[in-house]
Structure 1
Amino acid sequence: MAPRIKDGDAVVTINGKWVSWSHTVFAYAAFFSALIVGIALHYHKIVQNEHYGYPDEWFPSVSATIGDRYPERSFFMVFIAITSGPRFLLVFLWYILSARPNYTLPKIVAGVGVFRTLTCGGWTYVTSTDDHDWHDIFMISYLVATLPWTLGCLALSPNNRRAVKYRKILASLFFGTLVPLIYYFIQHKVHKVPGAYTRYAFFEWSLVLFDVGFDAITALDFEGFEFVVRDVKGISRGQLKTTADSVLEKEKGKSVGNTFGEGFFWTEIIDAAADVYNGFVFWTIVTGLPVLVWYFPLWHMGISGYEVAIVCCCSPLFFAIPSLRYAAAKNLRALHLISLVGLLAYKFQDPANRLFVTGFALATSCAAWTASFFAERANSPRLETRIMAWGIGLIMSVIVKFACYTNNPLWPVMHAENGGWNKIGLVVAIFAVLRSQRGSNTSGGDYLPSGGKKGSSILAGIGFGGLMFAIVSLLTDSSTMISWVWDGYPVRGPIAVPHGAATILAMGAGLVYGVFYPAVAGSWTAYGIGSLGAALLTCYHHWTGYYGALAFAFYVMAVSPVLISSSVRHSPATAFGVGFIFYVFMLLFHVWVVAYAFVPGGPLVREHTDWVMITTMISIGAGVFSAATSNSSTRFRKKPIGPNGKRQRSYYIYVLAALQLLSISVAYLRFPTNDYQPHHKEDKVLTAGIWTVHFGLDNNMWAAERRMRDVLGELELDVIGFLESDNQRIIMGNKDVTQYIAEDLGYYVDFGPGPNKHTWGSALLSKFPIVNSTHHLLPSPVGELAPAIHATLDMYGEMIDVVVFHSGQEEDPEDRRLQTQYLSKLMGSSPRPLILLSYLVTKPLEGNYNTYVSELSGMKDIDSSDWDRWCEYILYKNVHRTGYARISRDTITDTEIQVGKFVIGEPEPEQEVRIPEELVPPGRRFPALFRGEGVRGHRYHVFDEPRYWQ
């Protein structure tokens, strides 16, 4: 019965449902009035995009419709401004409807609703023409906020079956539409398929319908409200039972059902975030040390002795001494604080000192985390949260690298000048340790120190080591497994952006699944699925291989809680100490398969990534076997997680959800534009270069991508070949040196052959569309494999071939002879004009040079009079050469940049005559910036100036 109404309380009463109806009507009017006016006045203009127009594209996108043209933009803005009033009232009424005493979720949902409304105003009134970056920021913020708003409304829905049914339908349609939307956007943006943008537009308009329609359902809930606001049914007093309450009652006692049913406390989510950040620091140090180790054999061209630093991670072996073990467990805060010295390593300029400091930090960090797991062995809920912090910290590190173009900004090879966030990261890390490591009672719980079956401690250790290797080798960067399955243009599989977000999503989903369903995650069925994923990743390219990669990522993260929970039941010195020893063995194993020419016994494992993957999965299987033995004992079965444990679990999942939203945002903001233009389009000039980048680590052990970006941009390079560029291994940090340069300067990228093909890598960056490319492994019976990329580029409407090639080393002349014959035949068989950007390891006019430059290949040397070359060469055929220059590298690498200029569309003259620069048209000249002393250590050298031909 409605409460009695006092006389004179209400002058005018308006039912609350009209707030929803007015919001719906004005929102639809904003979009569809703009659509009608736009089609009537500017049809051909609003269906035109950067690739196609009418009739290939015949329906406009939302952004094109409401964007910049008058008067449709004005129609949209007027109606969307009117919509803002009902929108704020809708959020307000929803809060009144769902608010209950001591219940925080309604406040969060209301805050998201207000934020979403404000960001809608942002992308509405700041168009892409006004400010493209801010338009995108507001738009992605709005889309990201839609997820918590939708889920929050579903969780707080009154127990109105009709409303809940419609909400579920519209929410499913909204999120389901995102899949084809993204697919057709990629078809349009990456593949340039005619008509794809029209299909994309239909799904984009569908999102508008579903988004507004979802909020229109509130009309069914607001019928119980009247204005001036009087609650006529008492529903605003916290007495209303929500759908979430009904579900929680039915699911009581089940893991998923109870996780989110408790109150929300900001202090506890801050604790969870601090714990996750500690995990992020751990993975930062774990992945940062091998990069430092790699610097020394890289510059010594062989084993240097510094490689021994990788055994620092084996510090848990010292826990064989009981006093050390228990002292560590009682002083976790001190251990974690000491390990932060690794974030200070960047302060040491000497590479050796930086290595020693980071090695000490890694030893301390591995001991600290082992002690953390050991200290909570008697308390299953707290052990679970430590494992989740460890796993979500890994995902955070991957997302940070995803946002920072595969560099971790806290690594010791980073500093302020090259994009490091070292100071901020250290300050946050100190507060995180102080917050999360405040000491707790670690006694009691369900752990029994004796009796029952515990499984084999050695097998548990091998399982943990295999888990560590699987994670560090393949899951510490979202682009690593994508580079495994990439096989050239046209695009037939995933690309690093945006599909790296899918890898991150699979990792997060796997970790959550392993926490909620450890029995399934630790089963042999799950192990079989994970092994199948590993096999597909290893043996197949394109989408088939990537589907295997996703299954592998999901399984590895899911089995992590199982293997770690099993390992803590044994001595930490045995389980974790042996585990890290096995991890070091696997690290060397996976380096040996590609570095076989430089290490003792290398030929025994040459090119056997398949052996590495098999060993990895067998080792994880050993851990699963040990865990299964332990879990078969009733004395070691976990007790059900209590309410406090479930509440704690929920906070870590909130943090994970926020990180996943961040990864989606990064994927959106980094989505490739594919609208790149050459520097001198009007002159039809091609400026091409070759550079052996030495893995993007400079002479002083700093990441060099930004310095590389600066010099390449100033040289106005349209096409550049990188050699020694494959960093998708543990010792190189699992990163991609091309991403930052390509996105900042605007290049299409082809990298290959991939890291599972056992080369040191080659890459092609081009401002011209890459029509087709194939990857080659040249004959190498003795020495290192020689990679080559053979690509066809669309240069000003003419198809031109470009080959990027790295020959084998000097010590193996037979390899180089066979490679010379192979590549010469390849170049000679091309019917198109061709440019070779290469590392040949030969002297001009001698030996193999005369096969590369011959009738067999049809190639000419860009400057046969340049006698001072040994490695880098630019050759060409059937294209007009006009210039050649050599630019010093400063301290970025050990090899200079060689650059050639060509004019496309002009016939190659029978005799090319050297001319002075004064006679060269300005658009065909090299930049004057590098004359004389040059800039930042880069200058024209050897002959101190560019050379030109008529």
Structure 2
Amino acid sequence: MAPSDIARIPGHYISNTHTLFAYAAFVGALITGLSLHYTKIVENEHFGYPVEWFPSVSATIGDRFPERSVFQLFIALTSGPRFLLVWLNYILMTRGGKEGSGAAWVAAVGVFRTFTCGGWTYVTSTDDHDAHDVFMISYLVATIPWTVGCLMLCPPDARTVRLRKYLAGGFFGTLVPLIYFFIQHKVHRVPGAYTIYAFFEWALVLLDVGFDAVTAIDFQAFEIVVREVGGKGSGEKRSDTLLQTQKDKPIISDLSTSVQYPELLDALADVYMSFIFWTNQTALGLVVWYFDLWVMGLSGMEGAILASLSPFLLEIRPFRNHIVSAMPGSYLLQGLCGLGAYLVQRVDLRLGVLSIGVWTGTLGLVASFWRDRADAGKLEARVTAWLLGLILSSLAKFSNATNNPVWPILHSGNGGWNKTGLAIFGLAIARMYMRKSAMAATPSTQHSEAKPKGLSGLAGLGFGALCFIFHSLLSDSSTMIAWSWTGYPISGPMPVPHGMMTFAAMGLGVLSGLYVPGIYRTWSAFGVASVAAMVLTYSENWTGFYGGLVLTIYSMGATPVLVGNMLRFSVGRTFGIAFCGYNFLVLFHCWCVGYAFVPGGQYVRERTDWVMMSTLFMLGCGVWSVIQNGDGGKVGVVGQGGKGSTYYPARSPAVKRVRAAHVWLLLGLQLLGVGIAYVRFPAYDYPSYHPESKLITAGIWTIHFHIDNDAWSSERRMEALMRETELDLVGLLESDNQRIIMGNRDLTQYFSESLGMWVDHGPGPDKNTWGCALLSKFPIVNSTHHLLPSPAGELAPAIQATVEAYGELVDVYVFHSGQEEDVEDRRLQTEYMSNLMGQSTRPAILLSYLVTKPGEGNYNKYVSENSGMRDIDPSDWDRWCEYILYKGMKRTGYARVSRSTITDTELQIGKFVIGEPERLDGERISEDQVPVDMRFPALFRGEGVRGHRYHVFDEPRYFA
């Protein structure tokens, strides 16, 4: 030791100390917990010892003294070594020849993880459940960039690379069975599943700490020296052969590129403008649907969808030059009209303003592609931003239970974030105007372009098919899941958390389009996508969903290649034809379910498979055009190669930085999706309102697709009424919104989460019904979806479910019969449902829309010896559509509550007691003879609240 040196600490001591204290914290708490509170910490909300016999991490470290204190003590001791570990890791990265900004960013993530670890350690779930979850999810999300950053930037040797890959692969691979067994425990209540989940949870802890323990090998070349006088240290650089090999890979090279602040702002502005484009596009059909809903047919407002045909105007050269030169103006109108349309109260005017937003937004999008056609780097950035905008739009809906928070059907009173959207738009458009002069000062690279082969219409049809796939299947992460959903017991994906798999597939598609574009210039890839599309169409559960994911990857990845090929042709004609094809598919897929209300609908009724085949045919036209034109002129995206090739031309540092900005934004969106899925994961702890009385309050409501009489989204008002009427079971009819014309929404997710209820809906949107859904405070043990005989009119859907209520199995039927005009349909459906209900020997409730008068016609088959069902109140003569029938339980009350302006149909409610025999001679009694907890809320007496009151009888009815 030199005279001026006070102490020397080997670098690997830091890593080993961190590892020792971290493992001691977890293992010490586990040993203490097993010794003192074994049966308590292995118990969960469903099972205890001996069914569950090993504790989870959270139960071990956070619930009881003294194991919680043991854990907190040792975790506190890791903090010092942890900060030193992050610092030494930063030095290691910068010595490896990497640019400082990337290493600094990874170090910042390491510091952030350290603070969040302290957050979930010292704020337990018992102290503050929400705060604990926020810290925990932040820690888990930050683990991803920390792991990726260490793998990319640390100068590796063969040993450290191998260990890091094994540990990181094990960590992320463990997440899959971890989530699976957690769902088995939480949703399916499988005995012993939580114990298996616990082992995977502990494995995550061991792997997470082990990943950082590898730094002990790297730090052997370091010493921490304490001197009385500062001095410079030096050391020999390690071999970077493997690093250079990794650095030559394009994606590694791009991710390690330093992104400059202005370029990141530009990328954010472009993505947000694309988000507005998709927001307007997905809102247009939804507002049009309001008019068709009220006239039950074509209203004339469908002409608004032609707003997307504005690219035809770009065929006029002076107009095209004007639009290109005034590009920010198009974006300004797109944002102001689209995001500001909610301020217009009259629905027809609101639709007009929104249409202007779609008109100008489509013009701006196509003109921006045309402007940047000669510069491969700029065009790549433009296409990538458009795709990221789609992902952001879908993520916005994922975070808001499938409503885009800036749609014009929302406002501050029903969950809208319109003002926030406008504020962000102001920042984005300001950024675009700031860079306008710089863009004008940089001329596009000129090129000699060979005359394109084939027809421009073929190239356009391919892009139109892509737009339809994006809108119909990917504008909401739950749409393909709804296609594959078959009910309970659950054997397929759920919107939460599996919606994030849709985002992952979209992200993989974007990356593949950037880095391996050659595969999208082949018939082989198109063939695989076509098979996947038909698997999605004809299969269910996980098989169907996996087919949808493959189609997702292909459609996102093929976009840059198809756009690049289109720009060889006349822009106005090609993109105009593209949006003509898109609009044709939009109408086609609406006609499949709306066949009873549109001209010629009978020829395409229920032919979703024809829609998919037409989409694939059009997409194949685009692929044919791409293959015909090969690489002529190199028009397209950076990295575009020949058939089956992977071609990476030299790229300027600016282009690399822009691509890196988009890739990092994509990764950020993926992390956001994981975080939203974690936060939204259901608790599955749904107590009924009056368990002490074994009371079931059941309701039936025809909700007309969650759009109220003034074209505002109605789910929050509906949720308030269902909560205030204390519904334990509710059937919702005309509830399937998973189509373009309805916004690709699933508002049962919102009801399930806000009311705390299990949910089932079906048959799915690919089955071409208007939909029915069941919400239940009681676990749904089993459910079957039925398509009833409907030879002439619209398809009649039904759900047959079995719920476990107070220890007894109860059958619940939710059913929507055909229309009045289709007499034979309704007769066949009546026989079907009567026989179905008659087969049940359990207590049963029918929540239905029957289209019949009490005591007449088909009514006498629903209420019959064959079905065994009884009318909740045969004296109610005023009904036509909604009915509540029951058997095998005691009815205690019946009420009709007015709907205000939510729909045109009231909410009917019945009260039943489980465990008491059905009374055939039950008479009406006064309210004072009914126990208080079994009465209807007094809130709705008289004038009621918010337009909801007891009506027809002006009060509830009670029965002995």
The two structures have a TM-score, normalised by structure 1, of 0.97
Q: What is the aligned counterpart of 1:813 among 810, 817, 823?
A: 823
Seen in structure 2, the aligned counterparts of structure 1 residues 107 and 242 have a Cα distance that, compared at 3 Å, is: farther
Aligned 8 A contact 2:897 2:951 in 1 = yes
**In the TM superposition, what whole-angstrom CA distance separates every residue of 1:589-630 from its partner, at most 9, and x where no partner exists?**
000010000000000101000000000011111001111112
Letter aligned with residue 140 of structure 1: I
Letter aligned with residue 279 of structure 1: S
Seen in structure 2, the aligned counterparts of structure 1 residues 377 and 784 have a Cα distance that, compared at 3 Å, is: same
Q: Measure, in 2, the Cα distance between the counterparts of 1:480 and 1:264.
A: 35
Q: Measure, in 2, the Cα distance between the counterparts of 1:347 and 1:453.
A: 46
Q: What is the aligned counterpart of 2:412 among 394, 410, 416?
A: 416
Q: Which residue of structure 2 aligns with residue 149 of structure 1?
A: 146
Residue 328 in 1 paired to residue 323 in 2?
A: yes
Q: What is the aligned counterpart of 1:103 among 100, 104, 109?
A: 100
Residue 675 in 1 paired to residue 685 in 2?
A: yes
Deviation at 1:909, TM superposition (A): 2.0
Q: Measure, in 1, the Cα distance between the counterparts of 2:766 and 2:346.
A: 33
Residue 660 in 1 paired to residue 670 in 2?
A: yes
Q: Which residue of structure 2 aligns with residue 626 of structure 1?
A: 625
Q: Which residue of structure 1 aligns with residue 571 of structure 2?
A: 572
**In the TM superposition, what whole-angstrom CA distance separates every residue of 1:99-119 from its partner, at most 9, and x where no partner exists?**
368520111111101110111
Seen in structure 2, the aligned counterparts of structure 1 residues 94 and 904 have a Cα distance that, compared at 3 Å, is: same
Residue 844 in 1 paired to residue 854 in 2?
A: yes
Q: Measure, in 1, the Cα distance between the counterparts of 2:227 and 2:106.
A: 22
Residue 347 in 1 paired to residue 356 in 2?
A: no
Aligned 8 A contact 1:719 1:766 in 2 = yes
Deviation at 1:174, TM superposition (A): 0.9
Aligned 8 A contact 2:271 2:386 in 1 = yes
Residue 719 in 1 paired to residue 718 in 2?
A: no
Within a 5 Å distance, the mapping from 1:179-578 to structure 2 comes to: 179-228=176-225, 240=237, 246-248=242-244, 252=248, 255-340=250-335, 341-436=337-432, 438-439=435-436, 440-441=439-440, 443-445=443-445, 447-449=447-449, 451-578=450-577
Q: Measure, in 2, the Cα distance between the counterparts of 1:543 and 1:147.
A: 26
Residue 741 in 1 paired to residue 715 in 2?
A: no
Q: What is the aligned counterpart of 2:716 among 698, 703, 706?
A: 706
Q: Which residue of structure 1 aligns with residue 593 of structure 2?
A: 594
Q: Measure, in 1, the Cα distance between the counterparts of 2:256 and 2:73.
A: 42
Aligned 8 A contact 1:155 1:242 in 2 = no
Q: Measure, in 2, the Cα distance between the counterparts of 1:121 and 1:386.
A: 41
Q: Which residue of structure 2 aligns with residue 787 of structure 1?
A: 797
Letter aligned with residue 118 of structure 1: F
Letter aligned with residue 183 of structure 1: Y
Letter aligned with residue 518 of structure 2: A
Deviation at 1:251, TM superposition (A): 5.5
Within a 5 Å distance, the mapping from 1:123-134 to structure 2 comes to: 123-134=120-131
Q: Measure, in 2, the Cα distance between the counterparts of 1:869 and 1:522.
A: 61
Q: Measure, in 1, the Cα distance between the counterparts of 2:140 and 2:226.
A: 31
Letter aligned with residue 640 of structure 1: P
Q: Which residue of structure 2 aligns with residue 750 of structure 1?
A: 760
Aligned 8 A contact 1:777 1:788 in 2 = yes
Q: Measure, in 2, the Cα distance between the counterparts of 1:465 and 1:827.
A: 46
Deviation at 1:15, TM superposition (A): 1.6
Deviation at 1:59, TM superposition (A): 0.5
Q: What is the aligned counterpart of 2:649 among 640, 644, 648?
A: 640
Seen in structure 2, the aligned counterparts of structure 1 residues 242 and 694 have a Cα distance that, compared at 3 Å, is: farther
Q: What is the aligned counterpart of 1:881 among 873, 883, 891?
A: 891
Q: Measure, in 1, the Cα distance between the counterparts of 2:223 and 2:238.
A: 21
Deviation at 1:224, TM superposition (A): 2.8
Q: Which residue of structure 1 aligns with residue 876 of structure 2?
A: 866
Seen in structure 2, the aligned counterparts of structure 1 residues 827 and 26 have a Cα distance that, compared at 3 Å, is: same
Q: Measure, in 2, the Cα distance between the counterparts of 1:514 and 1:801.
A: 50
Aligned 8 A contact 2:7 2:226 in 1 = no
Letter aligned with residue 887 of structure 1: V
Deviation at 1:515, TM superposition (A): 1.6
Q: Which residue of structure 1 aligns with residue 161 of structure 2?
A: 164
The 3-state SS of whatever aligns with 1:842 is coil
Deviation at 1:240, TM superposition (A): 4.3
Q: What is the aligned counterpart of 1:16 among 11, 16, 38?
A: 11
Q: Which residue of structure 2 aligns with residue 927 of structure 1?
A: 937
Deviation at 1:445, TM superposition (A): 3.1
Q: Which residue of structure 2 aligns with residue 936 of structure 1?
A: 946
Q: Measure, in 1, the Cα distance between the counterparts of 2:664 and 2:234.
A: 28
The two structures have a TM-score, normalised by structure 2, of 0.96
**In the TM superposition, what whole-angstrom CA distance separates every residue of 1:784-833 from its partner, at most 9, and x where no partner exists?**
00000000111111111000000111111111111111111111111211
Greater mean deviation of Cα atoms: 746-755 or 812-821: 812-821
Greater mean deviation of Cα atoms: 219-228 or 207-216: 219-228
Aligned 8 A contact 1:409 1:420 in 2 = yes
The 3-state SS of whatever aligns with 1:735 is coil
Q: Which residue of structure 2 aligns with residue 908 of structure 1?
A: 918
Deviation at 1:452, TM superposition (A): 3.9
Aligned 8 A contact 2:536 2:545 in 1 = yes
The 3-state SS of whatever aligns with 1:12 is strand
Letter aligned with residue 467 of structure 1: L
**In the TM superposition, what whole-angstrom CA distance separates every residue of 1:848-873 from its partner, at most 9, and x where no partner exists?**
11111111211110000011111100
Greater mean deviation of Cα atoms: 472-481 or 86-95: 86-95
Deviation at 1:658, TM superposition (A): 0.3
Letter aligned with residue 821 of structure 1: E
Within a 5 Å distance, the mapping from 1:57-72 to structure 2 comes to: 57-72=52-67
Greater mean deviation of Cα atoms: 639-648 or 47-56: 639-648
The 3-state SS of whatever aligns with 2:468 is helix
Deviation at 1:249, TM superposition (A): 5.1
Deviation at 1:154, TM superposition (A): 1.4
The 3-state SS of whatever aligns with 1:811 is coil
**In the TM superposition, what whole-angstrom CA distance separates every residue of 1:400-444 from its partner, at most 9, and x where no partner exists?**
111110000010001111111111111211221332462325754
Q: How many pairs align?
A: 942
Letter aligned with residue 767 of structure 1: K
Greater mean deviation of Cα atoms: 882-891 or 96-105: 96-105
Q: Measure, in 2, the Cα distance between the counterparts of 1:436 and 1:656.
A: 21
Kindly report the root-mean-square deviation, in angstroms, between the aligned alpha carbons of the 2 structures.
1.9
Q: Measure, in 1, the Cα distance between the counterparts of 2:268 and 2:228.
A: 39
Q: Measure, in 2, the Cα distance between the counterparts of 1:756 and 1:345.
A: 31
Q: Measure, in 2, the Cα distance between the counterparts of 1:63 and 1:237.
A: 45
Deviation at 1:456, TM superposition (A): 2.1
Q: Measure, in 1, the Cα distance between the counterparts of 2:156 and 2:893.
A: 76
Q: Measure, in 2, the Cα distance between the counterparts of 1:478 and 1:235.
A: 55
The 3-state SS of whatever aligns with 1:935 is coil
Seen in structure 2, the aligned counterparts of structure 1 residues 615 and 231 have a Cα distance that, compared at 3 Å, is: farther
The 3-state SS of whatever aligns with 1:881 is strand
Aligned 8 A contact 1:464 1:575 in 2 = no
Seen in structure 2, the aligned counterparts of structure 1 residues 567 and 453 have a Cα distance that, compared at 3 Å, is: closer
Deviation at 1:236, TM superposition (A): 7.6
Seen in structure 2, the aligned counterparts of structure 1 residues 238 and 775 have a Cα distance that, compared at 3 Å, is: farther
The 3-state SS of whatever aligns with 2:954 is coil
The 3-state SS of whatever aligns with 2:7 is coil
Q: Measure, in 2, the Cα distance between the counterparts of 1:582 and 1:235.
A: 68
Letter aligned with residue 67 of structure 1: G
Deviation at 1:96, TM superposition (A): 2.6
Q: Measure, in 2, the Cα distance between the counterparts of 1:236 and 1:810.
A: 89
Seen in structure 2, the aligned counterparts of structure 1 residues 665 and 692 have a Cα distance that, compared at 3 Å, is: same
Deviation at 1:219, TM superposition (A): 1.4
Seen in structure 2, the aligned counterparts of structure 1 residues 910 and 527 have a Cα distance that, compared at 3 Å, is: same
Deviation at 1:229, TM superposition (A): 5.1
Deviation at 1:239, TM superposition (A): 7.9
Aligned 8 A contact 2:327 2:364 in 1 = yes
Deviation at 1:301, TM superposition (A): 1.6
Aligned 8 A contact 2:451 2:568 in 1 = no
Seen in structure 2, the aligned counterparts of structure 1 residues 709 and 217 have a Cα distance that, compared at 3 Å, is: same
